Chains A and B, each alone.
Chain A
Amino acid sequence: MRRWITESFVLVVAAVVAFPLFWMVLSAFKPEDEIISADPVPWTTRPTLDSFTRALTVANFGRYFMNSIIVALIVVALSILISFLAATALTRFRFRSRTTLLVMLLVVQMVPVEALTVPLFFLMRSVGDSVPVFGLNHLGSLVLVHLAFSLPFAIWMLRGFVAAVPVELEEAATLDGASRFRFLWQVLFPLVAPGLVATSVLSFIHAWNDFLFAKTFIISAVENQTLPLALQVFVKPDQNDWGAIMAGSTLMTIPVLIFFVLVQRRLVSGLAGAVKG
């Protein structure tokens, strides 16, 4: 009897928590007159793709979607490469400044990256003078900052995965005549792949969700905006196109949702592992 009450309560909570997402998807499929009706109802009898069409054509959402994908994927690829090498160095080798580097990696994660908008803005401005692709108004600037922000955590988390691979394996590979390079990419890399998946999902989500840096760096080049900014195009005082906004939000949320569901188990254990160090 008591469990029955608890379970109903939990289900009601789950419904409330899921409601905003349900409302988003529903509104994306509602025809326009139902969205701006004074009596909104939690269902629709005439689902339509009008809002999606409007978002993708009028506001050019497809383009911004691609921009976001490009930035996030390049960040992920680079961060996999760089953090894998760094994590290997920090676990497989003993050298003098190793501990210092580890502590610094930990400390750097505590710095609120949002506070760095001002110096990074000027840094990107001067970088742009010599290498335009990485300067303001270009996607390269976003790639650079998100790469830098995702590296410390990625390296920190990968350490555990690299350390879990027995040293004997490397000795065996060397005995079999494998070069160091070959061991690195053909033996170690596949073995730490699960760890790489978890860290890259986090890097992807960081880059994908970023609003602050996209807003600061992409000032005038409308064609280089990313999704979070593009969503704001529809937000106008007193006459928001809610249908298109919800369609855009749906498009933006789906990739993250898929990623989250795919790696949720690993994410939680990975987070717990990272927290425990």
Chain B
Amino acid sequence: MTAKGQGRTAFAYLAPALLVLAGLLAYPIYQLVLISLYDYGQEQVSGGAPLEFLGLGNYQELLGNQQFWGVLGQTVAFAAVCVVGTLLVGAFLAILATRVRTWVRMTLFLAALGAWSTPAVAGSTIWLFLFDANFGFVNEVLGIQGFSWTFDKWTAFGLVAAQVIWCSFPFVMVTLYAGIKAIPGEVLEAAALDGASAFRTAWSVTLPLLRPIILVVTIQSIIWDFKVFTQIYVMTGGGGIAGRNLVLNVYAYQQAFAASEYGLGAAIGVVMTVLLLGITMFYLRALRRSGEVL
């Protein structure tokens, strides 16, 4: 077939995909930026009031807003706790999984698979029930009936973080386990023959070999935990009392759909996207530097 014919057939095959992606991803991204530059409120949406171009006004309002900075800080801290927790639990269990018999490992993986596959909404409600002030099993065991985990800001955040770690450590564990298993036995034997201690082998042989995988799961976790929506929304009832448990994603939603400040909500969305793209760029560069070919 001629090169031109190839191109034509290829685009015929690609057309449906391009149509969907252009209409439902590219165009909304463009719209997101556009809306964030306007004063877009209830009057404009349903009343037909004229749109007012604000330029960077929405961003100025955000940057001057105490609550925004608070929420941003909370988001970063919350994501950091979730990421570190997920990685530590996942890595620790992956290492343990290499040292036990198959049936024990399969039991652990099956349990993890259950946590992994639980839909976020269902998982959140189960945890809420387990930690319910009066009827929860945890309070019964701890003997603190009547204690509300979701009332206090920090216990509420802690509870949500625990739930997030519960459903996201399996990915880290399974991936790292596969990574450890893929290290050829000869390499470890050579290290042992050279007289390296178990710790030294782990630190100087296993860890460097696992670096690309660790990098991948770290960034993946950061991206996931930075935009947690369902767990926060369901477990703290839409961001906690007076919005003290808000994270960026829920904040954007509340600004847009509860307060009808669509322009402001879009601006928060843009900020979130830019932050995440920044992290992704950093990730790609780190990957390239570690010699990984994309």
For residue B78, CB closer than 8 A to chain A, the reply is no
Neighbour of A211 across the interface among B6, B10, B234, CB < 8 A: B234
Chain B: residues with Cβ within 8 Å of the partner, total of: 89
Identify which of residues 84-136 in chain B touch chain A, using a CB-to-CB cut-off of 8 Å: 93, 96-97, 99-101, 104-105, 107-108, 110-123, 125-127, 129-130, 132, 134-136
Identify which of residues 15-70 in chain A touch chain B, using a CB-to-CB cut-off of 8 Å: 15, 17-18, 20-21, 23-24, 27, 35-40, 42
Question: Residue-by-residue, is B215-226 near A (CB-CB < 8 Å gives 1, otherwise 0)?
Answer: 010000001001
- The answer to whether A256 and B276 have CB atoms under 8 Å apart is no
For residue A168, CB closer than 8 A to chain B, the reply is no
Q: Which residue of B lies closest to A127 (CB)?
A: B23
- The answer to whether A40 and B104 have CB atoms under 8 Å apart is no
Contacts of B230 in A (CB 8 A): 209, 211-212, 228
Q: How distant is A54 from chain B, measured CB to nearest CB, in Å?
A: 15
Contacts of A228 in B (CB 8 A): 119-121, 230
Contacts of A14 in B (CB 8 A): 107-108, 110-112
Known: A9-B96, A21-B126. A93 touches B32 (CB 8 A): no
Q: Which residue of B lies closest to A9 (CB)?
A: B96
For residue B29, CB closer than 8 A to chain A, the reply is yes
Known: A21-B115, A40-B136, A260-B116. A119 touches B121 (CB 8 A): no
Q: Which residue of B lies closest to A231 (CB)?
A: B121
Known: A23-B137, A245-B129, A257-B117. A118 touches B32 (CB 8 A): yes
- The answer to whether A144 and B135 have CB atoms under 8 Å apart is no
For residue A199, CB closer than 8 A to chain B, the reply is no
Could you tell me the distance between the alpha carbons of A231 and B128 in the complex, rounded to whole angstroms? 13
Identify which of residues 95-119 in chain A touch chain B, using a CB-to-CB cut-off of 8 Å: 95-96, 98, 101, 108, 110-112, 114-119
For residue B70, CB closer than 8 A to chain A, the reply is no
For residue B204, CB closer than 8 A to chain A, the reply is no
Known: A82-B16, A93-B9, A260-B113. A209 touches B119 (CB 8 A): yes
- The answer to whether B257 and A271 have CB atoms under 8 Å apart is no
For residue B229, CB closer than 8 A to chain A, the reply is yes
- The answer to whether A148 and B25 have CB atoms under 8 Å apart is yes
For residue A163, CB closer than 8 A to chain B, the reply is no
- The answer to whether A38 and B16 have CB atoms under 8 Å apart is no
For residue B270, CB closer than 8 A to chain A, the reply is yes
Q: Which residue of A lies closest to B224 (CB)?
A: A112
Neighbour of A86 across the interface among B13, B119, B233, B272, CB < 8 A: B13
Could you tell me the distance between the alpha carbons of A115 and B262 in the complex, rounded to whole angstroms? 12
Contacts of B116 in A (CB 8 A): 260
For residue B280, CB closer than 8 A to chain A, the reply is yes
- The answer to whether A119 and B174 have CB atoms under 8 Å apart is no
Could you tell me the distance between the alpha carbons of A206 and B104 in the complex, rounded to whole angstroms? 30
Known: A6-B99, A95-B6. A260 touches B31 (CB 8 A): no
- The answer to whether B96 and A24 have CB atoms under 8 Å apart is no
Known: A85-B17, A95-B6, A115-B272. A212 touches B123 (CB 8 A): no
Question: Residue-by-residue, is B1-44 near A (CB-CB < 8 Å gives 1, otherwise 0)?
Answer: 00100110111011011101101111111011001000000000
Neighbour of B100 across the interface among A10, A108, A212, CB < 8 A: A10
- The answer to whether A118 and B29 have CB atoms under 8 Å apart is no
Which of A18, A39, A88 has the most chain B CB within a 10 Å cutoff?
A18
Could you tell me the distance between the alpha carbons of A224 and B140 in the complex, rounded to whole angstroms? 39
Q: Which residue of A lies closest to B99 (CB)?
A: A6
Contacts of A152 in B (CB 8 A): 21, 25
Q: Write the residues of chain B forming the contact surface with A, with a CB cutoff of 8 angstroms.
A: 3, 6-7, 9-11, 13-14, 16-18, 20-21, 23-29, 31-32, 35, 93, 96-97, 99-101, 104-105, 107-108, 110-123, 125-127, 129-130, 132, 134-137, 140, 145, 166, 171, 174-175, 178, 216, 223, 226-227, 229-230, 233-234, 249, 252-253, 256-257, 262, 265-266, 269-270, 272-273, 276-277, 280, 293-294
If A3-B101, A17-B115, A89-B14 are given as contacts, then 13 extra A-B residue pairs at C-beta distance below 8 Å, sorted by A number, are A10-B97, A11-B108, A89-B13, A93-B7, A93-B9, A110-B276, A115-B249, A118-B266, A120-B24, A148-B25, A180-B9, A252-B121, A268-B174
Q: What are 21 contact pairs spanning A and B, CB under 8 A?
A: A10-B96, A17-B166, A21-B118, A23-B130, A35-B135, A81-B16, A82-B17, A85-B17, A94-B3, A96-B7, A112-B226, A117-B252, A119-B28, A151-B21, A152-B25, A209-B230, A232-B121, A253-B119, A253-B122, A261-B113, A264-B113
Q: Write the residues of chain A forming the contact surface with B, with a CB cutoff of 8 angstroms.
A: 3, 6-7, 9-11, 13-15, 17-18, 20-21, 23-24, 27, 35-40, 42, 81-83, 85-86, 88-90, 92-96, 98, 101, 108, 110-112, 114-123, 144-145, 147-149, 151-152, 155, 180, 205, 208-209, 211-212, 216, 227-228, 231-232, 235, 240, 242, 245-246, 248-249, 252-253, 256-257, 259-261, 264, 268, 271-272, 275, 277
